[in-house]
Structure 1
Amino acid sequence: MTQTAWVLSLTQFYLSLGFLLFFLALELGLVWVLFILRLRTRRTGAAMLAYRFWVRVYALTLTIGFAASLPLLLQLGTLWQGLMDRAGEIIGPLLAMAVLTTFIFKSCFLGAMLYGQRGLSNLAHMIVVGMVALGTSLTAWWVVVLLAWLQWPVGAVLVEQHYQISSWLAVMNGAAPALFGVLLTGGLMLAATMILAITAQRARIRPSDAGDRAMFAGAIGLLLLAVVAQAGLAARLGSQLLPVQPARLAAVIPQWHSGTPDPIALLARLDVANGRNTWAWLGALPPTGWLAPSVAPDAAEAATGSMIQGLDDLIGMRPPVWPTYLSSRLTVGLMMLLGLMGLWGLWRAWRLGFEPDKLNGMGRFSLRSMAWVALLAQALGWGHLMIGSLPYAVYGTVTLREIGTAQSNGGLWLMLGLQVLVYGALILGFRQLLGHTLRYGVVPVARHRGRA
């Protein structure tokens, strides 16, 4: 597999994966917001107004997310032809469970959720919405288990270049719980910032109703809660993956030479060619939990984890240093910025009595900006997870070059161009339909007896 083919294949795959993860996270966050709103409809009419509007946004997100999953499934076979041969015993059942969960829950309950509210009792419809939320969560869970296993292949043994399952419980207990929490909190964050942005935009078009005011107040609190929760879950995920991924650990610090751990360079200008920092703002030593005995001259040092492997010993098997280092810093910085913006938004909303109509131009702009900051933070966070594991498909054992495609570069360029056009059309359609929903809201349709 040539370098150009490898880059083109990786670009196609990461584009599809990023597109899927964005809509899957947004769908996951929105469906749980809808479930909470549906529970509150028995106590307040504002919740019903908000539910009727946002269920349409959820349906649109669901449709785009389903469309985004199809290219990714095809690319597993066309771009990485040897992956199923090496790890099909784990990947196959997980993909099958994701597809099965999608069709069972969404085929059985989604129609009743979207179109059956008038024909069902309040309790029955609440149960239906809860089942859709559960089904969406289970679908996301199986996808996350697969991604987590590729990062940390526990619960399986490599026998003659083929992975064989030893414990499904271990597979699902590795990094999957923390990674699922990151996806869920990221989805809630995306949903909260989208609610704030759209509520601010609707207030510019027409007077806000009780549902808008309820969502405006609730979304700010949800955003702050999601930021704090994701920070804790991301730290938990890092404490699990960094000790078993010495190359990522070395790039994050960065640790150029094997030996005792260097202080973390909070900000630095890296000179990758010469293996050094030309300038660095140093922080504390890496947490003890990050250090694994990847290189140890003797048993005593291995027991204390006082030696770690440096980037100079990982040439050829290390991730791109600059993207791995920079994405970790930018993700943390954007999350901190989003938290500060959320606190400012909470203070500002409290001063305005949580009334969206009182927002001025700068206030509406800041709320819309939160959505872009949240999107960029999530994209960089997932990008760091994927890029930091290169060049492996299954970390530590199976590289992407081993399982890569035999297609020509011309064919890969063509498919990448078509992929960009299709995803661009989907994003444009999503934006246009979202704008239509924002402008016209929920339009009641009159029923006339005796007419079709």
Structure 2
Amino acid sequence: MTQTAWVLSLTQFYLGLGFMLFFLALELGLAWVLFVLRLRARHGGAALLAYRFWVRIYALALIIGFAASLPLLLQLGTLWPDFMDRAGEVAGPLLAMAILTAFIFKSCFLGAMLYGQRSLSDRAHTAVVGMVALGTSLTAWWIVVLLAWLQWPVGTTLADNHYQITSWPDLLGGAAPALFGVLVSGGLMLAATLMLSITAQRTRSRPSDEGDRAVFAGGAWLLLVALILQVALAGWLGRQLLPVQPARVAAVVPQWQSGPAERLSLLAWLDVPAGRNAWVLTGPAVPPDWLPGATAVDGGVMDKVQGLDDLMGMRPPVWLTYASSRLAVLLTGALAVMALIAWWRGRRLGFEPDSLSDSGRAGLRVMAWVALGVQAAGWGHLLVGSLPYAIYGTVTLREIGTVQSPDSLWLVLGLQILVYGALALGFRQLLGHTLRYGVVPVARHRGRA
């Protein structure tokens, strides 16, 4: 596999995976928001108004997320033809469970959730919404288990160049719970910022109703909770993966030479060809458990740490790994500051969207984009930092890569960008249509909304 074909294949796959993960996270966050709104709607009209609007947004995210997931299944066979031969006994059951869960637990209840509200009792419809949220979570869980296993292949053994499952509990453990928590908290963060941004836009041209006020208050509180969970769970995930991924640690520090542990840099300009920092702002000392393969001497001082010089040919893209980690931290800090300001100002205004200034509304829109940047940087770091491995530590992407010509890969990449661009634009346009016209009133049946 040539370098050009490797880069093009990786770009195609990561573009599709990132697109799918964004809508999966948004769908997951909105599903649980809708369930809470439906629970509260049994005791008041404000939550019901909010539910009827946001269930449309959920449906849009679900459709586009489903459309984005289909090319990934095809790309496993076209871009990485030997992947299933190496890991089919692991990936096959997990993908099958994700598809089965999506069609049975989620889709079977989705129709009743979207179209059966007037035909079901409040209690039954609330249960249906809960089953959709549960089905969405289970679908995401199986996908996350596979992604976590690729980062840390626990519960399996490699025999005759094929992975075999030795322990399902170990396979379902490992980094999967922490990574699933990161996905859920990220989805709640995306949902919360979208709730705040859209509510601010809706109330620019018309007076707010009880549903808008309920969503504005709920979104402000949800964002703070989601941020705390995201930071805690990302830290948990890091403490699980970093000790087993020495190349990622060396790129994050960065540790250029094997030897005494270098101090973690806050910011640096990397001179990768020379193997040094051209400029650096040093930070705290690196904790010992972040340094796999290190040996200690008396007093607990780290005697030797594996550096990037020992990982030539098997190290991740240093600049991308280093910059994505700093960008994720920087954007998370910026989002936390903006979330606190939004919550404080919202509380002073009694969480009344009509009282927002133009600058306040613009800030909420910016906050939604910053939340998207946090997710892109975090997931980008996770994926890029494990390169060049497909299954960390054993199988590289070059071993399982395609034999297609670069010309065909360029063509497919261009078409993929056009398709995903059209999907993103369509989501934006439909979101704007829903924002402009809201929920069309429908006739009531037996007193139900």
TM superposition score normalised by structure 2: 0.97
User: Deviations for 1:95-144, whole angstroms, at most 9, x for unmatched residues?
Assistant: 00000000001232000000111111111111100000000000000000
1:439 maps to: 436
Distance in 2 between residues matched to 1:260 and 1:212, nearest whole Å: 57
Q: Hey, which bits of structure 1, 4+ residues long, moved more than 6 A?
A: none
The residue that corresponds to 2:398 in the other structure is 401
Alignment of 1:45-84 (within 5 A): 45-84=45-84
Structure 1 partner of 2:386: 389
The CA distance in 1 between the partners of 2:278 and 2:119, in whole Å, is 68
> 2:337 corresponds to which letter in structure 1?
L
Structure 2 partner of 1:370: 367
Aligned-residue CA RMSD (Å) = 1.4
Looking at structure 1, the residues matched to 352 and 289 of structure 2 have their Cα atoms a distance apart, in angstroms, of 46
Counterpart of 2:222 in structure 1 is 222
Letter of the 2:282 counterpart = L
Q: Secondary structure at the match of 2:400?
A: coil
Q: Distance in 2 between matches of 1:132 and 1:37?
A: 14
- The aligned residue for residue 424 of structure 1 is 421
**Residue of structure 2 in register with 1:104 after alignment:** 104
Counterpart code for 1:72: L
How many Å apart are 1:434 and its aligned residue? 0.6
Q: Which amino acid aligns with 2:111?
A: G
Task: Give the unaligned 5+ runs of structure 2.
Answer: none
Q: In the TM superposition, what whole-angstrom CA distance separates every residue of 1:405-430 from its partner, at most 9, and x where no partner exists?
A: 01111111111111111111111111
Are the aligned partners of 1:200 and 1:359 in contact in 2 as well (CA < 8 Å)?
yes
Aligned-partner Cα distance in 2 for 1:248–1:305: 18
Check if 1:249 corresponds to 2:246: no
Amino acid at match of 2:120: L
Q: CA deviation at 1:446?
A: 4.1
| Distance in structure 2 (CA, Å) of the matches to 1:269 and 1:10 | 26
Which letter maps to 1:155? Answer: G
Contact 1:246 1:308 in 2 (8 A): no
Secondary structure of the equivalent of 2:119?
coil
| Distance 1:285-1:447 versus aligned 2 partners, 3 A rule | closer
How far is the alpha carbon of 1:56 from its aligned partner?
A: 0.6
State the Cα distance separating 1:305 from its structure 2 match. Answer: 6.2
Query: Mind listing any 5+ residue stretches in structure 1 that lack a counterpart?
Result: none
- 1:3-24 Cα shifts (integer Å, max 9, x gaps): 1000000000000000000000
**Residue 300 of structure 1, CA deviation:** 6.6
Shift of 1:287: 1.7
Say whether 1:309 aligns with 2:336.
no
CA distance in 2, matches of 1:41, 1:408: 56
**2:262 corresponds to which residue?**
262
> For the residues of structure 1 that align with 2:297 and 2:79, how far apart are their CA atoms?
45
Give CA-to-partner distance per residue, 1:157-199, whole Å, 9 cap, x none.
1111111110111011000000000000000000000001100
8 A Cα contact 1:38 1:47, kept in partner: yes
C-alpha distance in 1, partners of 2:347/2:29? 24
Once residues 304 and 230 of structure 2 are traced to their aligned partners in structure 1, the CA distance between those partners, rounded to angstroms, is 30
Deviation of the 1:447 alpha carbon: 7.9
Partner of 1:271: 271
Task: Check conservation: 1:53, 1:441, Cα contact below 8 A.
Answer: yes
CA contact (8 A) 1:292 1:305 kept: no
Q: What is the count of residue pairs matched by the alignment?
A: 444
Post-superposition offset of 1:358: 1.0
Select between 252-261 and 28-37 the one with higher mean Cα deviation: 252-261
How many Å separate the matches in 1 of 2:380 and 2:291? 23
Q: In structure 2, the residue corresponding to 1:337 is in which secondary structure? A: helix
Residue pair 1:178, 1:236 contacting (<8 A) in 2 also = yes
Alpha-carbon separation, structure 2, partners of 1:107 and 1:199: 28
SS of match in other structure, 2:254: coil
* Whole-angstrom distance in 1 between the partners of 2:169 and 2:258: 35
Letter of the 1:435 counterpart: G
Residues 322-333 of structure 1: matches in 2 within 5 Å?
322-333=319-330
TM-score by length of 1: 0.96
Farther off after superposition, 188-197 or 351-360: 351-360
